[in-house]
């Protein structure tokens, strides 16, 4: 049994110091009112290591020290007039959302001639130096300084309890420490503790499955390495931590990982920093019975966040992979995250048509099993992510902004969900499987490559919030029709395979550029394009193929021509769609992935007053990318429609049970426009 001195636990000076350092204010989740004409994306600027909000917008970097400056992003917002293409969104950075890696954090060096030495001999401890004392199998450090620890300690403890302002440096130099009924390393009080993993060493910390002497009110300590103060890990050695009782590594202030190889297995959370978790580098592997990485300060708007600047991070968590009360910010790093056992082997089939949002998803769970979850915002400005999650892959109660980030994911629910706004600027997004691929009150795509696969909607733009954002598991989305919600596509390349609606907006759609190709629904209860407000198309390439019952095109507020064509019979998957001008010039050749009855097509190549023929079937050669033929020849199809573009939107064939006229706004629910 560990020789824990309960007298130290009864002292209160450290709690007082910690409370005086922590601001006593409640965080606010309030966003700027849409009546003010702006959306507030509260992403952090970091002192010393600044997350560049300008680069998140695809703009030139601003001065990294101007923490209070705002950056304007050209995106869609609730304040945008229905016939405008874009609106400005204000992005600010709260001055109190900061952290740094100071010289003490970064310094992994130590001088063996001046450091105190701790030799662990199984059931005893030898100590030489000053600033610490030994009682049985417990070493208690009461002064700042450097302590080099090596050897094996069976059922013992290292306790740090000092009021000095300088840091305590624990150099783990081949140390194996276990304690059966308390935290093997317990920081009860210090200004800062730095765990240095000595070069070339392997170190190990293991606790037992029960702590009989934890504080009844706080339930602490509750981790194999537990610190009431700031805790930093650096060095080039390795550390294996097994938290059999609850958590692996916990800091009640900040937890910083600078470098080293860290392997954590925990019955509950892997890494937890109440005020923040900041990772600069290292090789981190986490197996967690609850959350992988968590920052849980819900009392201070400038804390409770996770920031990653590099390293390799592997997380397998029963619940959330990375969970922050406020912000998650990533500038670089290689991530592999699995939550809740991963996405189901057989994703949900069908759609939510007629059943309310998410009502058709059989993959719900009562737990929150999201890969990355933020109580406010998620800002990704770099990094590579491989995600396999039972619940949403990325989930924010506020806004998600993504720039120069590569993401591949499979999920049992939403690929990316934000209650307020999703801003996708650049990078690569591949959603292998999802229920709904991308969902928010507003979605803006400015660039990048997006490959989206969903059993329900591809893009789902709605007003409201997802009930699961408050910690209740999946929960039905409470989104409803909203005239202030927009899907805006200004650039990028989108390839979508949606079982439900493809481009779905309970508000409006604006497309000014980019390439969008949709293989949409096969049932008439959904449409490849579906919107409640307007669909203004002024540029880009749009091809949306699917069923005919609810087919829609852009509307007559558009400035780029579009055609909506319904076929007299359902066409089988792979049956070519070919559009050519009256002189035989090929405009489009496409092989849909699924059966279809209609398509909407818009391109700068469609000329006002021009005559076009539409064919189904035939053969084509040349270069094909995602079903689209970019060159070569086509021959042998059957004519399905012939039309003259006498207005900006032209409809032909049978749409929604009604015949299109070959000019003007034809039957059904038609409006429209698109291009590559």
Distance between CA 319 and CA 233 in Å, rounded? 25
Sorted by sequence, the CB contacts under 8 Å of residue 676 that are 6+ apart come out as: 515, 541, 603, 628
Phi, psi of 77 (to 5 degrees): -145, 170
Host H or E run for residue 388: strand 384-389
Asked if 343 contacts 433 with a C-beta cutoff of 8 angstroms, the reply is yes
CA torsion sign for 617, 621, 624, 630 is negative
Which pLDDT band holds residue 431 (cuts at 50, 70, 90)?
very high
* Residues 554/556/557/563 CA torsion (nearest 10 deg): 40
Calculate the alpha carbon distances from 92 to 273, 275, 360 in Å.
Answer: 25, 21, 38
Q: What is the pLDDT of residue 654?
A: 80
- State the number of CA atoms in the 13 A half-sphere of 323 facing the CB: 27
The residue to which tokens 């064509």 are assigned: 565
Position 484 pLDDT exceeds 90: no
Q: Is the dihedral of CA 406, 475, 399, 495 positive or negative?
A: positive
pLDDT-above-90 percentage for the chain: 73
- Per the CB < 8 A criterion, the answer to whether 360 and 338 are in contact is no
What element of type H or E holds 276? strand 276-279
pLDDT in tens, 32-91: 222 222 223 333 222 233 344 333 433 322 222 222 222 222 233 333 333 344 433 434
Extract the tokens encoding 637. Answer: 């199809």
Asked if residue 5 has pLDDT above 70, the reply is no
Above 60 in pLDDT, residue 471?
A: no
CB 74 within 8 A of CB 106: no
Which sequence spans correspond to the domains of the chain? 103-254, 537-661
pLDDT over 50 (residue 584): yes
pLDDT above 60: residue 669: no
pLDDT the model gives residue 482 = 52
- 634-646 pLDDT, tens digit per residue, is 999 999 999 999 9
Per-position b or e across 298-325, b if 16+ CB within 10 A of its CB = ebbbbbbbbbbbbbebbbbbbbbbbbbb
Helix or strand (DSSP H, E) at 503: strand 503-505
* CA 138 to each of CA 125, 185, 374, 601: distance values in angstroms, whole numbers, following the listed order: 8, 10, 39, 75
Mean pLDDT of 559-580: 96
Provide the residue count of the chain. 676
Rounded Cα–Cα distance for residues 189 and 151 (Å): 25
Contact indicator for 532, 507 with CB cutoff of 8 Å: yes
- Please compute the mean of the pLDDT values over residues 400-422 and round it to a whole number: 96
**Direct distance between the N- and C-terminal alpha carbons of the chain, in angstroms, rounded to an integer:** 70
Per-residue b or e along 588-627, where b marks 16 or more CB atoms closer than 10 Å to that residue's CB = bbbbbebbbbbbbbbbebbeeebebbbbbeeebeeeeeeb
Token representation of residue 549: 């019952």
- Which distant-in-sequence residues (6+ apart) come within 8 Å of 672 by Cβ? 529, 535, 537, 552, 553, 554, 555, 558, 562, 563, 564, 600, 602, 649
């Amino acid at each position: 049994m560990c020789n824990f001195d309960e007298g130290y636990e009864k002292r209160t000076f450290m709690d007082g110091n910690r409370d005086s350092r922590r601001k006593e204010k409640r965080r606010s989740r309030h966003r700027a009112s849409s009546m003010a004409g702006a959306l507030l994306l509260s992403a952090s600027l970091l002192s010393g290591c600044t997350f560049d909000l300008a680069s998140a917008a695809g703009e030139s970097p601003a001065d990294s020290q101007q923490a209070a400056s705002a950056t304007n992003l050209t995106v869609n917002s609730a304040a945008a007039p229905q016939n405008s293409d874009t609106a400005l969104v204000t992005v600010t950075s709260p001055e109190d959302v900061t952290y740094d890696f100071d010289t003490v954090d970064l310094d992994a060096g130590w001088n063996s001639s001046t450091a105190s030495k701790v030799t662990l001999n199984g059931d005893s401890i030898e100590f030489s130096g000053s600033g610490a004392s030994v009682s049985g199998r417990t070493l208690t450090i009461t002064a700042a300084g450097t302590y080099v620890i090596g050897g094996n300690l069976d059922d013992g403890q290292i306790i740090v309890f000092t009021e000095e302002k300088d840091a305590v440096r624990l150099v783990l130099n081949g140390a194996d420490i276990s304690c059966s009924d308390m935290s093997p390393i317990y920081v009860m009080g210090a200004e800062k503790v730095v765990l240095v993993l000595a070069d070339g060493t392997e170190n190990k910390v293991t606790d037992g499955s029960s702590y009989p002497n934890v504080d009844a009110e706080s339930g602490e300590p509750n981790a194999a390495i537990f610190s009431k103060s700031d805790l930093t890990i650096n060095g080039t050695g390795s550390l294996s931590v097994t938290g059999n009782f609850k958590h692996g590594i916990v800091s009640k202030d900040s937890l910083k990982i600078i470098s080293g190889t860290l392997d954590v297995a925990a019955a509950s959370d892997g890494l937890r920093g109440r005020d923040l978790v900041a990772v600069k580098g290292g090789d981190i592997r986490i197996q967690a019975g609850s959350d992988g990485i968590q920052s849980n300060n819900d009392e201070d708007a400038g804390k409770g966040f996770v920031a990653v600047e590099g390293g390799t991070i592997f997380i397998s968590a029963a619940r959330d992979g990375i969970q922050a009360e406020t912000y998650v910010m990533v500038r670089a790093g290689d991530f592999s995250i699995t939550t809740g056992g991963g996405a189901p082997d057989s994703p949900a089939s069908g759609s939510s048509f007629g059943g309310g949002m998410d009502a058709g998803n059989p993959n719900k769970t009562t737990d929150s099993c999201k890969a990355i979850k933020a109580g406010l915002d998620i800002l990704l400005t770099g990094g590579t992510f491989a995600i396999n999650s039972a619940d949403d892959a990325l989930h924010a109660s506020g806004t998600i902004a993504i720039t120069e980030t590569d993401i591949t994911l499979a999920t049992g629910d939403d690929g990316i969900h934000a209650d307020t706004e999703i801003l996708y600027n650049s990078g690569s997004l591949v959603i292998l499987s999802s229920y709904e691929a991308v969902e928010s009150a507003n979605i803006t795509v400015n660039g990048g490559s997006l490959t989206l696969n969903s059993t329900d909607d591809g893009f789902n733009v709605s007003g409201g919030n997802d009930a699961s954002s408050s910690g209740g598991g999946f929960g039905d989305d409470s989104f409803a029709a909203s005239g202030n919600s927009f899907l805006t596509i200004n650039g990028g390349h989108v390839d979508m395979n949606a079982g439900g609606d493809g481009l779905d907006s309970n508000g409006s759609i604006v497309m000014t550029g980019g390439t969008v190709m949709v293989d949409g629904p096969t049932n008439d209860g959904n449409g490849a394009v579906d919107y409640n407000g307007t669909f203004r198309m002024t540029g880009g390439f749009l091809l949306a193929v699917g069923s005919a019952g609810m087919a829609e095109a852009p509307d007559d507020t558009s400035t780029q021509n579009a055609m909506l064509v319904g076929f007299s019979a359902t066409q089988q998957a792979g049956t070519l769609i070919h559009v050519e001008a009256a002189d035989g010039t090929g405009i489009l050749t496409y092989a849909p992935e699924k059966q279809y009855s209609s398509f909407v097509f818009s391109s700068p190549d469609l000329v006002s007053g021009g005559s076009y023929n539409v064919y189904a079937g035939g053969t084509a050669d040349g270069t094909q990318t995602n079903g689209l033929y970019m060159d070569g020849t086509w021959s042998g199809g059957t004519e399905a429609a012939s039309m003259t573009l006498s207005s900006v939107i032209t409809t032909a064939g049978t749409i929604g049970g009604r015949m299109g006229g070959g000019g003007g706004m034809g039957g059904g629910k038609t409006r429209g426009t698109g291009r590559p």
